[in-house]
Amino acid sequence: MIGRAGIPEPSAAAARRERRARRERALRLGLTYAVLVAVSAVAVFPILQIVNISLRPSDQFASTSLRLIPEGATLAAYRTILFEKDFPRWLLNSIIVSLATTIIGVALASTAGYAFSRLRFPLRRAGMMLFLVSQMFPATMLLLPLFIMMRRLALLDSFAGVIIAYVVTALPFCVWTMKGYYDTIPRDLEEAARVDGTSDLGAFWRVTLPLASPALAITGLFSFMTGWSEFMVARVVISSKKLFTLPLGLENLTSTFATEWANYAAGSFLVCVPVVVLFVVLSRFLVGGLTLGGVKG
């Protein structure tokens, strides 16, 4: 320790100060962990609830026990949902719808975002604004016209109908994310590639797009989640049971008797697992990859 005038301080005082600093650090660390543990517990709690309900035997549906694994836990609900209900079909339908939404959404957003970030063209700002303003439309404003429009185009009760609706739902956020991320990639790299004789498309495809992979992962994740979790549009567009997606199927379970709650919880848990795994795997991309670009710039 060097004192103000460059003279070493008496060592006793220095040691005391050192001890106090260490104690403060320990206290702060302890508080940090306490807060993180408490909030994490609240964040995780509903999932534990779902697991708990899904394992309850049918006579304990209204139990108020706080045990994580209920008494007489049984996997009967999982068996029922997987082998006696249409769950596998809903699962397949949801996978088809979500994957299609993801592929189309990523393709459209990665290109549109690039144009908004790199190119100058007429109506550029208006285009960015359209994406933002579309987020402000209340669901009710789109549902009814969408319904009528889809009936005219014979898209009702088809996967194509919901896929189009989901792409549009996810697109504005995805375009923003892509644009924001492209903005952080230096242009010099593309320019260097161009000077070396790469075409405009080649510069995008081989230089910029690979660098934007964190944003691509996020865009894909959000498109997939939109398709996986959406309920309101699906309810309006899809009516035949063989086209039910997971949300429709699960809702169908809740509208019957109370005995179905365990089945519903088991279904919910199975629905959560893939998205949560996907989210956790991609979560390292989320930090830093999620740069929402502004309209300007």
Partner 1 sequence: MALPVDPAAGRPARGAALGWRGRERLLALAFVGPAMLVMLGIVLYPFVYNVYLSLTDMGLYTFRNPSLQSPLWKNYAEVLGHRELYVVFFKTVAWTGVNVLFHVAIGLFLAVLLNQPIRGRTLFRVLLILPWAMPQYISALTWKGMFNYEWGVVNHLLQKAGLAAVPWSTDPFWAFLAPLITNIWLGFPFMMIIALGGLQSIPQVVYESASVDGAGPARRFFSITLPMLKPVLAPAVMLGTIWTFNNLNVIWLVSNGGEPSDRTHILVSYVYKAAFTYYRYGYAAAFSMILFLILFALVWMQTRVGRATEASW
Interacting positions 255-284 with partner 1 (CB under 8 A): 268, 271-272, 275-276, 279-280, 283
* Region from 2-10, 15-23, 78-86, 164-172 binding partner 1, contact rule CB under 8 A: 164-172
Measured from the CB atom, is 199 or 239 closer to partner 1? Answer: 199
Residue 36 near partner 1 by CB under 8 A:
yes
CB of 50 to partner 1, least distance (A): 6
Query: How far is 67 from 86, CA to CA, in rounded Å?
Result: 31
Query: How far is 198 from 3, CA to CA, in rounded Å?
Result: 61
Residue 228 near partner 1 by CB under 8 A:
yes
CB of 111 to partner 1, least distance (A): 4
Residue 149 near partner 1 by CB under 8 A:
yes
For partner 1, which residue of 2, 8, 59, 120 counts as binding (CB under 8 A)?
A: 120
CB of 241 to partner 1, least distance (A): 19
CB 155 within 8 A of CB 167: no
DSSP label of 259: G
CB of 125 to partner 1, least distance (A): 10
CB 157 within 8 A of CB 239: yes
| Torsions phi, psi for 199 (to 5 deg) | -75, 170
Within 13 A of 144's CA, how many CA atoms are on the CB side? 4
Binding mask 79-118 for partner 1 (x = CB under 8 A): -----------------------------xx-xx-xxx-x
CB 194 within 8 A of CB 118: no
CB of 20 to partner 1, least distance (A): 15
- The most distant pair of C-alpha atoms in the chain lies apart, rounded to whole Å, by 88
Q: Please measure the distance between the N-terminal and C-terminal CA atoms of the chain and give it in whole angstroms.
A: 48
Residue 213 near partner 1 by CB under 8 A:
no
